[in-house]
Amino acid sequence: MTGWAEKILDIDLTAQSYTTYALDMEMARQFVGGRGLGARLLWDLVGPDIDPLAPENVLIFTNGPLTGTGYQTSNRFSVSTKSPLTGTILDANSGGFWGMQFKKTGYAVLIVRGKAARPVWIEIKNDAVAFHDASELWGLRVFAVTERLGQSNNKRNVLCIGPAGENLSRIAAIMNDRERALARGGPGAVMGSKNLKAIVVEGSERPQIEDKDLFKFMLYETRKLLAASPLTSQALPEFGTVVLMNIMNNIGALATRNHQQTQFEGAEAISGEELTEKYLVKNASCWACPIGCTRISKTDKVEGEGPEFESTWAFGAQCGIDDLPAIIEANSLCNDLGLDTISAGSTIACAMELSELKYMDSDLRFGRADLLAPTLEAMAYRRDVGADLADGSLRLATKYGHAELSMSAKGLEFPAYDPRGMQGQGLLYATSNRGGCHMRGNMVGPEVLGLPKLIDRFQVQGKSSFVILHQNSSAAIDSLVLCKFTNMGVADEYFARVLSAVTGVQYDTGDMIKVGERVWNLERLYNLREGFTRKDDTLPPRLLNEAPTEGPSKGWVVQLEPMLKEYYRGRGWDENGVPKPAKLAALGLAGL
């Protein structure tokens, strides 16, 4: 069978040893790769008795059958683990170059288990695996480690943690290729708990393609479609993702000051238009990506990738800050420290509200751009006020007796979209298997941008079917693993065809959606096994009970309960959100 690398590299850090074995190809056919394959392997490896920061937790790095083939955006890879932030199943995926290089080593999966006695870094060169002493690297920041270990985009790629991961911050990211992040849910802390500083990959194997003619045709067709779409050929490359700032503000769905408001008076100053006009140096792309949405930005102090929309929002509107250079610098600092920008910004915003209400004693106040950088530094090193913020907003707010001020679901901080102005997004946040997240079927497409077609963002009845469809589709794309922006120019049907071309296994669009549904249900089962219940499918009281008093979303709260009931029915789950046996059997999950 072609496409899949077909081998698993299984590393035990405690023993500093490794084994290799064959990938279960039936499992691969069912779960494809990336997020799906990672979830299936994690189900077997990490049960409910295991603490996320214990040596028994594992990091499962996965690529997919398309990875490294050269198909558009086939650069991504995924990490799966039990989240130290939420306690849920977690996967995070990232672009850049590391995923492609990982595939070229000949492995589909890298499992890292155990804990090294002293800091180590791992070097994988095709079949050769070496453990190196990382004593001199421990304490260094991401940019320095990446350079020291010889990052070279098409030849040798570095993945590492920064001080935040070393200090077990539960919002620590794993960084790759210097400024790309496996960000959400704290995978950096899991890596830090294992005393693992970095993984360097260097490979020379070429992914095999079963039907080369069909693959070439799909490459050509996809190139044509991405070039023809105004979204992928103009919108994303011209203004980057931050272009969403003004429209979200315009419609009153831009979470502001820890979701106290839904419009930010400083939105224009932190918009994609402003970033492009004053701070953009050039665009950049991940490997094999013709879209090129990455910004290289420059201020007096820093030059580097980003910021993306969510990061700009987190340090901007969410913190009441309209100082774009300070936001760019905070984004860069997070990359260097190895922190998730969304969780970091939103946790600072939570601290700002706690402090303004005098529940917490700190200088943090909305609008204090001057405190962003020192607070992030303090978080990564668990110093001073940062010690309270290092583990995310829910633990922070709980410590000060006001858990309701954490703007999160299942403990994961929300991104920019205030769901009181986007009902479907509210349902999405409440039901997301890794917590409050927009990468699990973002409803900004249909509810705001008209992609593929505009639906009423305030509509409640019938909304769950859109959410389910988008969740399944995103789980399928995350299992391929491709960039979701590709889907803005290319329909799901193309993904099924190119997957068939690469693997020789026939998939159609229905098969792909079923892969996504299978993955979603497996993740649900995992969380249920961890003790999560229907009561965890919820949102903070602010979003359920406090309506905005002005703006286009005035008077709206999230009508979660009716959507949730409809959602469970639509999913084939019982009234408690437990998948029914018939649904599990239909998805090939019976017995789990």
Q: How far, in Å, CA of 237 to CA of 384, rounded?
A: 40
Give the containing element (helix H, strand E) for 354: helix 341-356
Chain residues 300-359 in contact with another protein, contact rule CB under 8 A: 308-310
Cβ 194 to another protein shortest distance, Å: 31
* DSSP string computed for 502-536: HHS----HHHHHHHHHHHHHHHHHHHHHTT--GGG
- The answer to whether 180 touches 96, Cβ cutoff 8 Å, is yes
Min dist. Cβ of residue 412 to another protein (A): 16
Q: Does 161 bind another protein (CB under 8 A)?
A: no
User: CB of residue 357 vs another protein: minimum separation in angstroms?
Assistant: 29
Nearer to another protein, 242 or 288 (CB): 242
Q: Which of residues 428-447 bind another protein (CB under 8 A)?
A: 438-439, 442, 444
User: Is residue 449 part of the contact set for another protein (CB under 8 A)?
Assistant: yes
Both tokens of 452, joined, read 């593929």
- What lies within 8 Å, CB to CB, of 472 at 6+ separation is 441, 513, 516, 517, 520
Residues 174-233 that bind another protein (CB under 8 A): 230-232
Burial 136-160 (b: 16+ CB within 10 A, else e): ebbebbbbebbeebebeeeebbbbb
Q: Is 126 in the site for another protein (CB under 8 A)?
A: no
Q: What is the spatial distance between Cα 350 and Cα 458, in angstroms, rounded to a whole number?
A: 27
Nearer to another protein, 273 or 377 (CB): 273
The residue (of 454 and 585) whose beta carbon lies closer to another protein is: 454
Helix (H, G, I), strand (E, B) or coil at 482: coil
Q: What size, in residues, is the chain?
A: 592
Q: How far is the CB of 199 from another protein (least distance, A)?
A: 28
* Segment holding 250, helix H or strand E: helix 244-250
Whichever of 389 and 448 has its CB closer to another protein, that residue is 448
* Min dist. Cβ of residue 485 to another protein (A): 7
User: Which is nearer to another protein, 386 or 489 (by Cβ)?
Assistant: 489
| Signed CA dihedral, 193, 195, 200, 206: sign only | negative
Query: In whole angstroms, how close is the CB of 548 to another protein at the nearest point?
Result: 11
Which residue lies nearer to another protein by CB, 65 or 252?
Answer: 252
Element (H, E) at 238: helix 236-239
Residue 113, both tokens: 């288990």
Q: Which residues pair with 303 in a beta bridge?
A: 298
Residues 79 and 98: their CA atoms lie apart, in Å, by 12
Residue 99 found at the interface with another protein (CB under 8 A) = no
> According to the binding rule CB under 8 A, does residue 457 interact with another protein?
yes
- Shortest CB 457 distance to another protein, Å: 8
According to CB under 8 A, which residues from 384 to 423 bind another protein? 415
Q: What's the CA gap between 366 and 135, in Å, rounded?
A: 39
Question: What separation in angstroms does the CA of 245 have from each of 262, 291, 314, 318, 560?
Answer: 12, 20, 11, 12, 25
Q: Is the Cβ of residue 240 or residue 386 nearer to another protein in the bound state?
A: 240
CB atoms within 10 A of CB 450: 10
Closest to another protein by CB, 142 or 437: 437
- Smallest gap from Cβ 257 to another protein, in A, equals 19
**Does the footprint of another protein cover residue 54 (CB under 8 A)?**
no
Q: Which member of 134, 137, 174, 244 binds another protein (CB under 8 A)?
A: 244
What's the CA gap between 31 and 505, in Å, rounded? 13
Residue type, 283: N
Site for another protein in 466-525 (CB under 8 A): 484-485, 488
63 CB-near residues (< 8 Å, 6+ apart)? 5, 33, 34, 77, 78, 99, 102, 103, 108, 481
Among 204, 219, 119, 216, residue whose Cα is nearest residue 490: 219
User: Residues 97, 107, 215, 239: which binds another protein (CB under 8 A)?
Assistant: 239
Least distance CB 277 / another protein (angstroms)? 9
Q: From the centroid of its chain, how far is CA 546?
A: 28
Question: Considering only residues 192, 252, 338, 548, which one is a binding residue for another protein as defined by CB under 8 A?
Answer: 252
* Sole binder of another protein in the list 174, 236, 314, 499 (CB under 8 A): 236
Shortest Å distance, C-beta 537 to another protein: 22
First and final CA of the chain: distance in angstroms?
A: 27
- Nearest distance from residue 557's CB to another protein, in Å? 17
Distance in Å, CB of 89 to another protein, minimum: 22
Q: Which is nearer to another protein, 319 or 342 (CB)?
A: 342
User: Shortest distance, CB of residue 312 to another protein, whole angstroms?
Assistant: 10
Size of the site for another protein (CB under 8 A): 41
- 154, 234, 533, 545: which one binds another protein (CB under 8 A): 234
Report, in Å, the least distance between residue 220 CB and another protein. 23
Handedness of CA 573, 574, 579, 585 (dihedral sign): negative
**Does residue 293 bind another protein (CB under 8 A)?**
yes
Residue 235 in the binding site for another protein (CB under 8 A): yes
**Rule CB under 8 A: is residue 270 a binding residue for another protein?**
no
Of the candidates 454, 491, 582, 585, which one interacts with another protein according to CB under 8 A? Answer: 454
DSSP strand pairing (157-160 vs 196-202): antiparallel
Nearer to another protein, 474 or 521 (CB): 474
In whole angstroms, how close is the CB of 455 to another protein at the nearest point? 10
- Parallel, antiparallel or unpaired: strands 89-94 and 77-82: antiparallel
User: Stretches 81-89, 358-366, 515-523, 547-555: which one binds another protein (CB under 8 A)?
Assistant: 547-555
CA distances from 232 to 99, 241, 544, 552 (A): 22, 11, 35, 29
| Contact residue for another protein among 79, 181, 243, 584 (CB under 8 A) | 243
Of the candidate residues 273, 356, 384, 508, the single one contacting another protein (CB under 8 A): 273
Residues that bind another protein (CB under 8 A): 230-232, 234-236, 238-244, 246-247, 250-252, 272-273, 293, 308-310, 415, 438-439, 442, 444, 448-451, 454, 457, 484-485, 488, 551-553
